[in-house]
Amino acid sequence: MRKCSLDTINAIFEAIAKTAKLYIPADDKDGSAVYKQWEEGVLWSNALNTVRSPKDFFFPQMETLMEFKTEGKNIEVIDTRSETEDFVIFGVRACDVKSFEVLDRVFLTEPVDSYYAARREKGVIVSTACAKPAETCFCKTFGISPEEPAGDISTWKTENEIFFKANTPKGEALLEKIAGLTEECDETAVDSQKEKIAKVMDKLPLKDLTTDGFGGGKTDEFFNHPAWDELSGSCLGCGTCTFVCPTCQCYDIKDFNTGNGVIRFRCWDSCMYSEFTKMAHGNNRLTQKERFRQRFMHKLVYYPENNEGLFSCVGCGRCLSKCPISMNIVKVMKKIGGKMSE
Amino acid sequence: MQTITKQQLLDKADSLLANGTVTAVLGWSKGEFGYDVTPKMFTTKEDLEQNFVWNDFCGVNFSKYLVSKTDRFEGKILVFLKPCDTYSFNQLLTEHRFDREKVYAVGIPCEGMVDVSKLKAATGDGISEIKEDGDNLLVTTIYEDEPATVPCRDVLLERCINCKSKKHVAYDELLGDEGEIIDSARFDEVAQIEAMTPDERFAFWQNELSRCIRCNACRDACPACTCEKCVFDNPNSGVENKAPANSFEEKMFHIIRAYHVAGRCTDCGECSRVCPQNIPLHLLNRKFIKDINEFYGEYQAGAEVGSRAPLVDYTTDDLEPGEVFDRRDMDA
Amino acid sequence: MNNQYLREELIRQSGVNPKKCMKCGKCSATCPAYDEMEYHPHQFVSMVESGDIEPLLQSESLYKCLSCFACIERCPRGVEPAKLVEAVRLSAIRKQGENRMTANDVPALLDEDTPQQLLVSAFRKYSK
Amino acid sequence: MQRVGVFVCWCGSNIAGTVDVQAVSEALKSEPGVVFSANYQYMCSQAGQDMIKEAVKEHNLTGIVVCSCSPRMHEATFRKTAAAAGINPYMVEIANIREQCSWVHKDIATGTEKAIILGKAAIAKVNLNTPLTPGESPVTKRALVIGGGIAGIQTALDIADAGFPVDIVETKPTIGGKMAQLDKTFPTLDCAACILTPKMVDVAQNEKIRIFSYSEVSEIKGFVGNFDVTIKKNARYVKEDICTGCGACVEKCPMKKVPNEFNLGMDNRSAIYIPFAQAVPKVATIDPNACNMLKNGKCGLCARVCTAGAIDYTQKDEYINEKYGAIVVATGFNPISMDKFDEFAYNQSKDVITSLEFERLTNAAGPTAGHLERPSDGKSPKTIVFVQCVGSRCDACAEKGKEYCSKICCMYTAKHAMLTRDKYPDTEVYVFYIDVRTPGKNFDEFYRRAVEEYGVKYVKGMVGKVTPEGDKLKVQASDLIANKQLHIDADLVVLAAAIEPDKSARPLATMLTASMDTNDFFTEAHPKLRPVESPTAGVFLSGACQGPKDIPETVSQAGAAASKVIGLLAKDKLTGNPCVAHSNELMCNGCSSCEKVCAYGAITYENKEFRMPDRTTKIRRVAVVNPAVCQGCGACTVACPSGAMDLNGFASNQIMAEVDAICK
Amino acid sequence: MQVNEHKPLIVAFCCNWCSYAGADLAGNNRLNYPADVKIIRVPCSCRVNPMFILRAFQRGADGVIICGCHPGDCHYTSGNYYTRRRMAALFSMLDFLGIEKERTRVEWVSAAEGAKFAATMNDFVEQVTALGENKRLEDLRCKR
């Protein structure tokens, strides 16, 4: 374990930025945060988390897959893939770190998504423990410890210092690079920080929410639950929840006709959209209720069924604060079966 | 700080349900943290008593729900409408988007709704309880022993700070006192942007619109956007897309969205309220409203049912598109 | 002073557009002070329009206008001759530096037959 | 994908001089869809057209692009060629490489490059063309004339003369209109009744013409060739087919104090009445507001004296449905109300009258049997003042008057003045005028005669005030020429009141979806070239409903409208322009935006049942375009927020394909 | 990079009845204007959807001009009145977003005004050329 004074954090950023592109959460307007590429003057935000999740770094909202160039009646296929550069994302919260595991299981199992894999390989994740979680946080529900964030490097921020612990060879290599700016230390301060965090976690309003009852094999139990009507009744069908979600991984592949050819790209899609997975015969989820149900069944039942019980939600709380009508996974879980342990 | 109480609304809903005037009530149901209310169709007294809520966070404009809900329910629906919601209500009626006969509209006064992000900026994260105390909110967080006192007027939604009307333009029944149309300063921000240089304006919007994640919340919450098939979802429209591929598409989406509601937008402010990226989308709509007012005379969409929107109307001596700028240059 | 300038100044001040006049003479037909006047309301309009303003400035007609506004009320084209007369009057007053009489002089000139309206318009005229 | 043939025309050297036509046809060969490309000296020549026809056969072409002169020149030619070759004429697109390319550019490289781009745009468009077939609709061979004045009468007679049945709907109990109230007509001074009443009789006797008097149009549906009209026949409490018009009932009716509207209230009539002696139909009508029997069941005298048994107190309003191929609007005019012109004391003195009232005063069949008497005391007026332009040309007083010139007043005032001086030479007659407008055949001569021969005193100036004083009317006016204010003691003041369209015109325009101007005059389809047609197909305009008119003008417009109607009714079928708008009902919101911008009333709405995604059904309001009425401007396509509305031949995707091709 | 080398691309939407005929007349009279102007024929100026204009800019146009009959002379009586309102609102919005207002124009050109058509196009091309390439409403994907 190494540490440094928070006063020198910008020097640390500078050192990292010399070796790779560095992205840190920076203040955006209205008290929210956004990942920005570090440069002189970009400061680490005090906000709990970014509005957009860091999944963008591995699975961007839009990326070109390939291109076709047309000349008269001739078509030429162009591979647009280019070498991904090394990059570091700094200050990732425990929930978001966990989300990469969820995405990995989708994109890194056969057939491997080479676009995703390339970025994953080049990216170093530096996580940060959460000292001040929000009321919308419920990562504990999914077994995530905000006091013990994973990632290539874990960090803890105290009043004046920041502590680093490498978890992987990638992390160790990066720590090595900033060794000159940090000093070796023991874990006492971090332990007390962890304790503090654990205490705060016990005060959270959603601390008692559990996944009991959900998981693989529960399709029949929940699929025709009468509460779906009511829950989905006010859903506007926008894609906010899916687009701010760190684990939503659905995309659409589309062609853009440039006039001189075609760009084949993929972009995020949302199961909340009426056009989602539309096929030649039409759409297999006909109403908003079915689309709504799909999203939550996927997170709470289908995904764990295929992934050894891992839920496709990390309790980051983004959808809780961003849904225009404040409908969210917590309300769904409470209504259709997630039990509150007493 | 609302002048009308939850109990008054509950009593009204109960009695109308009981006497069979309505079979369902479109109201707000309570959430987890006091501020996260969700629209809901209530059909029983019990449900209403357990879950119905009316507080400073009931910002959702119900008018749009009537388009889909009136088809789904037998009998009449009771809908509670704040003054600004009634404009959308009328506009939808003008466009024949729902059957007036299937709705029982109860106008309710509104003292302005709270912007949760502003509230959180004031109190910090970790809100566990919110209580009303006169014109203030008492906000308890898990980090402080004492609740913080936040004056409501400091954390109002932008649209409420610049409220255009406390008067209801449509209802079957009005609870509480009727208000007045307000001569608000809602166009000031538009005027400020107009006063910028083109480069500054471009930079301003480039910065704002580049944050768009194309979640469509602005469109899907907008009571003017009730198209059976939105052009952005229609592969044959030529503008369909799902993601803002580049700065052109960001701009195109927002220009077309604003243009499509120009003359129909009642300035209810839902677009800006729901934007997860806090993009001031209402400014685009207000620009159209301001222009239309200046070019063609004052027009408030939704002020009355059946009015003819300025863009589907004309006079023979309208100003020329080029004169738009001459005029502005003269004013400058 | 340049006539053209004065003409425009009068038009601007009065807000009257003499070009709208269709020369029907209804203003003069309505005017109760017609016989007292050397130049009549319709002439004011056409003379200002043609820039022939000097005779108007010299004329007693300026003060004969009662400012009863009958011409304004009756004009089918909305030309408002009385406002133009007023503008010419003001221009004359300004030149000579003082009004023809002051409001204080008015009461002395009253007699029993003076209509109320005359009183009102006299104050209107001379309190400027 | 189409199989497109490209044909590049040299137009001699017109195109080939500045455009390398060979290069153009070569370059376009490789465009998507193109299977054949050629160039030729004169594509429009027989040989050129034959070349196209052969290529169609040989290469199985489904689309044709001709790069040539303006489509305004030869689009029709090449469409015919295509049709002759067996493909749909609307599968032809023209790239204008002459007027908009070779003729405006000098450099061959530039011209060629642009011609290629224009060709690509046309190819991109034709790839998205669909075969279009003009719609056909049958024509109901019957016309409806709304309004039974001289305009309506003349139109109806002319249409009937061509052999088509015509119905006239008139709100009054008789046809005849304003002309029936007139005494003499300018500039010939022949008696209005003498020339009008024979025409009224013609109408009554013409077996092709039906008159619905005392009736109004209550509903109009349908479109050109196929109007579906409901006529409300108001109960007149007299059986029209039985009444002989003998007048016995009128004589016996005890209720004799009803103001006579035909004489503008200057005398009285009975509760049962025939407006005037030559009324057509000459049938009595009971005024339900005046008749004691109808009001309180007491009387019944008329039924007792009617030997024919025509009186029917139980008669109800009757609704008649009829189909028409064409509708002529001839709703005419009325003088405006004088109530707001206080300065002329119209409401204060009976001796201030309007010109129409003057007509009745001098009419032999009028309230004074043609003797000019003052309404107040029956004395002969010795000094008469006529005031022109009362409420006309009045743009400062929109709530009182009209900003337009009423056109007829100068002439009828000259007529009144002249006739007065003729009959009563000892009368002093003044006419106050702003301008005297006499642009008509023999009009100015007529006016000069009034001045020179009859000694009418024309005074340039306006009357400012009329004050009743004793039995005189004190008139204060301007004499602008003498630069004097005149004070005249008049016995009678006659106001030439502005005229305005009849009040029934506005609701009628709404029913017809015909457009009107701000003054409620019907708008013509084109002010110069289509002056008797409304922009709404199948609706025609006759008489003063379109703008102020005198009798000769009205009659000629009536004839013109009739000839347009005859031209329409002579067709068995109407062939439409296939380039019309159409709405995709699955996307239509029913919001009415399109309807609001449609100048032709081509868009209506219907409630249609749709199957929803969840297999329920929903009834939705959707727009339906009537292709027979739509003119294909495309205003609706842009007004439509959802993009449900599109235009055949100029579809959004076609125009965007052109944009794309040009901007490539 | 030399700015003045940029050849602008101008899309002109012309109504069939007046402006397209006016353009033809310009041709008949051999009145030159730059070949950068490409005309698209529409039945009436009111057929021009704002989407077409954005599309043109997206695809690489540097200027878009809409020509129709003079107000009051519309073949369809009122079409150009709607155009006038729509474009006034749209252009003002584009300007609000900081997009150069000189890139868009509405001009009324009658069938008799061949000279006006040519003069208008010359003027517009000059105006757009002075602005240089359209950067603020471009879609780089379409410029490869």
A261 touches chain E (CB under 8 A): yes
Query: What does the alpha-carbon distance between residue C105 and residue D287 come to, in Å, rounded to a whole number?
Result: 66
Please state the domain extents for chain C: 3-100
Note whether A325 contacts B245, CB cutoff 8 Å: no
Query: What does the alpha-carbon distance between residue A288 and residue A273 come to, in Å, rounded to a whole number?
Result: 8
Task: Please give, rounded to a whole number of angstroms, the shortest distance from the CA of A115 to a CA of chain E.
Answer: 20
Note whether B213 contacts A52, CB cutoff 8 Å: yes
> What would you measure as the largest C-alpha separation in chain C, in angstroms?
44
pTM for this structure? 0.79
A259 touches chain B (CB under 8 A): no
Residue B211 lies in a domain: yes
Q: Are residues B247 and B315 in the same domain?
A: yes
Whether residue D320 contacts residue D462, with contact meaning beta carbons closer than 8 Å, is answered with: no
Q: Are residues B212 and B311 in the same domain?
A: yes
Q: Which residue of C has its CA nearest to D434?
A: C24
Note whether B221 contacts A236, CB cutoff 8 Å: yes
Q: Are residues B198 and B310 in the same domain?
A: yes
Q: Which residue of D has its CA nearest to B238?
A: D653
Q: Which residues contact D235 (CB under 8 A, 6 or more apart)?
A: D288, D315, D316, D317, D318
Note whether A327 contacts B38, CB cutoff 8 Å: yes
What value does the mean pLDDT take over residues B67-77?
88
**Residue B137 scores a pLDDT above 80:** yes
pLDDT at D524: 87
Q: Which CATH architecture has domain D334-500?
A: 3-Layer(bba) Sandwich (3.50)
Q: Are residues B170 and B32 in the same domain?
A: yes
Whether residue B78 contacts residue B14, with contact meaning beta carbons closer than 8 Å, is answered with: no
The alpha carbon of residue B297 and the mean position of all alpha carbons in its chain are separated, in whole angstroms, by 23
Q: Which residues contact B197 (CB under 8 A, 6 or more apart)?
A: none
What value does the mean pLDDT take over residues D7-31?
95
CA D289, D294, D297, D300 dihedral sign is positive
Query: What does the alpha-carbon distance between residue C48 and residue C9 come to, in Å, rounded to a whole number?
Result: 10
What value does the mean pLDDT take over residues D614-642?
91
Model confidence at A4, in pLDDT bands (50, 70, 90)?
Answer: very high
**Residue C106 scores a pLDDT above 80:** no
**Residue B331 scores a pLDDT above 70:** no
Q: Which residue of B has its CA nearest to E77?
A: B316
Model confidence at E144, in pLDDT bands (50, 70, 90)?
Answer: low
Predicted-complex ipTM score: 0.85
Determine the structural domain holding residue B256 and report its residue range: 193-331
> Which of A73, A275, A292, A293 to mutate against chain D (most D CBs within 10 Å)?
A73
H or E stretch at A89: strand A87-93
Q: Which residue of E has its CA nearest to A265?
A: E141
SS3 content of chain C, % helix, strand, coil (to 5): 60, 0, 40
B–D interface: beta-carbon pairs under 8 A: 56
Phi, psi of A271 (to 5 degrees): -65, -10
Query: Mean pLDDT in chain A?
Result: 92
Q: What percent of chain C has pLDDT over 90?
A: 36
**CB-based touch D/E (3+ pairs, under 8 A):** yes
End-to-end, the C-alpha distance of chain A in Å comes to 38
D659 touches chain E (CB under 8 A): yes
Task: Please give, rounded to a whole number of angstroms, the shortest distance from the CA of B221 to a CA of chain E.
Answer: 22
CB-closest option in D389, D397, D462 to C29: D462
B220 touches chain A (CB under 8 A): yes
What's the Cα-to-Cα distance from A289 to each of A226, A272, C46, rounded to whole Å?
A: 11, 9, 77
Q: Which residue of B has its CA nearest to E102?
A: B322
Q: Are residues B43 and B95 in the same domain?
A: yes
Note whether B221 contacts A244, CB cutoff 8 Å: no
Instruction: Write the CATH number of the domain with boundaries D235-316.
Output: 3.30.70
**Number of domains forming the structure of chain B:** 3
Note whether B249 contacts E139, CB cutoff 8 Å: yes
**Which residues lie across from B174 on neighbouring strands?**
B107
| D54: amino acid identity, one letter | E
How many CB atoms within 10 Å of residue D587? 21
Query: Mean pLDDT in chain D?
Result: 94
**Residue C115 scores a pLDDT above 80:** no
Chains with ≥3 Cβ pairs under 8 A against E? Answer: A, B, D
Task: Please give, rounded to a whole number of angstroms, the shortest distance from the CA of D54 to a CA of chain A.
Answer: 25
Query: What does the alpha-carbon distance between residue A336 and residue A288 come to, in Å, rounded to a whole number?
Result: 17
The CATH fold of domain D4-126? Rossmann fold (3.40.50)
pLDDT at A339: 43
How many CB atoms within 10 Å of residue D373? 16
Task: Please give, rounded to a whole number of angstroms, the shortest distance from the CA of A167 to a CA of chain E.
Answer: 41
Note whether D114 contacts E38, CB cutoff 8 Å: yes
Task: Please give, rounded to a whole number of angstroms, the shortest distance from the CA of E55 to a CA of chain D.
Answer: 7
- Which residues of A fall within a CB distance of 8 Å from E60? 259
D462 touches chain C (CB under 8 A): yes
B288 touches chain E (CB under 8 A): yes
Beta strands in chain C (DSSP E): none
SS3 content of chain D, % helix, strand, coil (to 5): 30, 25, 45
pLDDT at D636: 97
Query: What does the alpha-carbon distance between residue D642 and residue D623 come to, in Å, rounded to a whole number?
Result: 12
CB-closest option in D30, D615, D660 to A259: D660
Whether residue D389 contacts residue D395, with contact meaning beta carbons closer than 8 Å, is answered with: no
**Residue B181 scores a pLDDT above 90:** yes
**CB-based touch C/A (3+ pairs, under 8 A):** no
Q: What percent of chain A has pLDDT over 70?
A: 99
pLDDT at A278: 83
Whether residue E28 contacts residue E112, with contact meaning beta carbons closer than 8 Å, is answered with: no
**D contact residues 390-429, partner C, Cβ 8 Å cutoff:** 393-397, 401
pLDDT at A342: 33
Task: Please give, rounded to a whole number of angstroms, the shortest distance from the CA of B233 to a CA of chain A.
Answer: 7
Note whether C29 contacts D477, CB cutoff 8 Å: yes
Chains with ≥3 Cβ pairs under 8 A against D? Answer: A, B, C, E
**Residue D66 scores a pLDDT above 50:** yes
Please state the domain extents for chain E: 3-143
What value does the mean pLDDT take over residues A315-337?
94
Note whether D393 contacts C31, CB cutoff 8 Å: no
Query: What does the alpha-carbon distance between residue B269 and residue B223 come to, in Å, rounded to a whole number?
Result: 10
**CB-based touch D/A (3+ pairs, under 8 A):** yes
Model confidence at B245, in pLDDT bands (50, 70, 90)?
Answer: confident
pLDDT at D527: 79
> Which of E44, E96, E136, E143 to mutate against chain B (most B CBs within 10 Å)?
E96
Q: Which of E69, E141, E140 is nearest to E106 (CA)?
A: E69
The alpha carbon of residue A257 and the mean position of all alpha carbons in its chain are separated, in whole angstroms, by 31
Model confidence at D397, in pLDDT bands (50, 70, 90)?
Answer: low
Q: Are residues B223 and B324 in the same domain?
A: yes
What value does the mean pLDDT take over residues C66-94?
89
Q: What's the token pair of residue C13?
A: 């001040």
Model confidence at E2, in pLDDT bands (50, 70, 90)?
Answer: very low
What value does the mean pLDDT take over residues A302-320?
95
Beta strands in D139-181 (DSSP E): 143-146, 166-169
What value does the mean pLDDT take over residues D637-643?
95
Residue B260 lies in a domain: yes
E102 touches chain B (CB under 8 A): no
Task: Please give, rounded to a whole number of angstroms, the shortest distance from the CA of A216 to a CA of chain D.
Answer: 28
Model confidence at C67, in pLDDT bands (50, 70, 90)?
Answer: confident
B119 φ/ψ sector (left φ>0, alpha ψ -120 to 50, else beta):
alpha
Mind listing the pLDDT tens digit for each residue in D424-478? Answer: 999 999 999 999 999 999 999 999 999 999 999 999 999 999 999 999 999 999 9
**CB-based touch E/B (3+ pairs, under 8 A):** yes
Query: What does the alpha-carbon distance between residue C21 and residue D167 come to, in Å, rounded to a whole number?
Result: 47
What value does the mean pLDDT take over residues A36-53?
93
Model confidence at C97, in pLDDT bands (50, 70, 90)?
Answer: low
End-to-end, the C-alpha distance of chain E in Å comes to 17
**Token match 């729900």: residue?**
B65
Q: Are residues B164 and B280 in the same domain?
A: no
Q: Which of A107, A131, A141 is nearest to A320 (CA)?
A: A141
Mind listing the pLDDT tens digit for each residue in A214-265? Answer: 999 999 999 999 999 999 999 999 999 999 999 999 999 999 988 889 999 9
Query: What does the alpha-carbon distance between residue D211 and residue D193 come to, in Å, rounded to a whole number?
Result: 19
Note whether D615 contacts A72, CB cutoff 8 Å: no
Last residue of a domain, one of B125, B155, B185: B155
- Which residues of E fall within a CB distance of 8 Å from A258? 141-142, 144
- In degrees, rounded to 5, the angle at the alpha carbon of residue C34 between the alpha carbons of residues C32 and C36 is 110
Look at D319-333, D548-562, E38-52, E68-82 and tell me which has the smallest mean pLDDT.
Answer: E68-82
Query: What does the alpha-carbon distance between residue D568 and residue D575 come to, in Å, rounded to a whole number?
Result: 11
Bridging pattern class, strands D383-390 and D492-497: parallel
- Which residues of D fall within a CB distance of 8 Å from C25? 434, 460-462, 477-480
The alpha carbon of residue A181 and the mean position of all alpha carbons in its chain are separated, in whole angstroms, by 30
Note whether E51 contacts D104, CB cutoff 8 Å: no
Q: Which residue of A has its CA nearest to D32?
A: A73
**CB-based touch E/C (3+ pairs, under 8 A):** no
- Which residues of D fall within a CB distance of 8 Å from B96? 590-592, 605, 621
Q: Which residue of D has its CA nearest to A257?
A: D660
The alpha carbon of residue E144 and the mean position of all alpha carbons in its chain are separated, in whole angstroms, by 24
Q: Which of A69, A60, A159, A76 is nearest to A113 (CA)?
A: A60
Please state the domain extents for chain D: 4-126, 139-233+318-332+502-571, 235-316, 334-500, 581-648
**Which residues lie across from D404 on neighbouring strands?**
none
The CATH fold of domain D581-648? Alpha-Beta Plaits (3.30.70)
What value does the mean pLDDT take over residues D97-122?
95
Q: What is the DSSP letter of B45?
A: H
pLDDT at C103: 74
In the CATH hierarchy, which top-level class contains the domain C3-100?
Answer: mainly alpha
B202 touches chain E (CB under 8 A): yes
Task: Please give, rounded to a whole number of angstroms, the shortest distance from the CA of A73 to a CA of chain D.
Answer: 6
Whether residue D608 contacts residue D620, with contact meaning beta carbons closer than 8 Å, is answered with: yes
CB-closest option in B94, B231, B312 to D597: B312
Instruction: Write the CATH number of the domain with boundaries E3-143.
Output: 3.40.50
DSSP sequence for B66-125:
HHHHHHHSSS-EEEEE-HHHHHHHHHHHHTT-S-GGGEEEEE------B-HHHHHHHH-S
Print the SS3 string covering D185-246.
ECCCCEEHHHHHHHHHHHHHHCCCEEEECCEEEEEEEEECCEEEEEEEECCCCECCCCCCCC
CB-closest option in A71, A257, A287 to D613: A287
pLDDT at B332: 57
Chains with ≥3 Cβ pairs under 8 A against B? Answer: A, D, E
Whether residue B25 contacts residue B77, with contact meaning beta carbons closer than 8 Å, is answered with: yes
pLDDT at E3: 47
**Which residues lie across from B156 on neighbouring strands?**
B114
What value does the mean pLDDT take over residues B63-91?
93
How many CB atoms within 10 Å of residue B134? 9
What value does the mean pLDDT take over residues D178-189?
95
Helix (H/G/I), strand (E/B), else coil: B32: coil
DSSP sequence for D521-535:
PBPPSBTTTBTTB-S
Query: What does the alpha-carbon distance between residue A58 and residue A55 come to, in Å, rounded to a whole number?
Result: 6
Residue B180 lies in a domain: no
Model confidence at D398, in pLDDT bands (50, 70, 90)?
Answer: low
Which CATH code, of 3.50.50.60, 3.40.190.10, 3.10.20.310, 3.30.420.10, is assigned to D139-233+318-332+502-571?
Answer: 3.50.50.60
Task: Please give, rounded to a whole number of angstroms, the shortest distance from the CA of A332 to a CA of chain D.
Answer: 22
Query: What does the alpha-carbon distance between residue D652 and residue D634 come to, in Å, rounded to a whole number?
Result: 10
Last residue of a domain, one of B155, B183, B210: B155
Q: Which residues contact B165 (CB under 8 A, 6 or more apart)?
A: B83, B84, B87, B179, B180, B181, B182
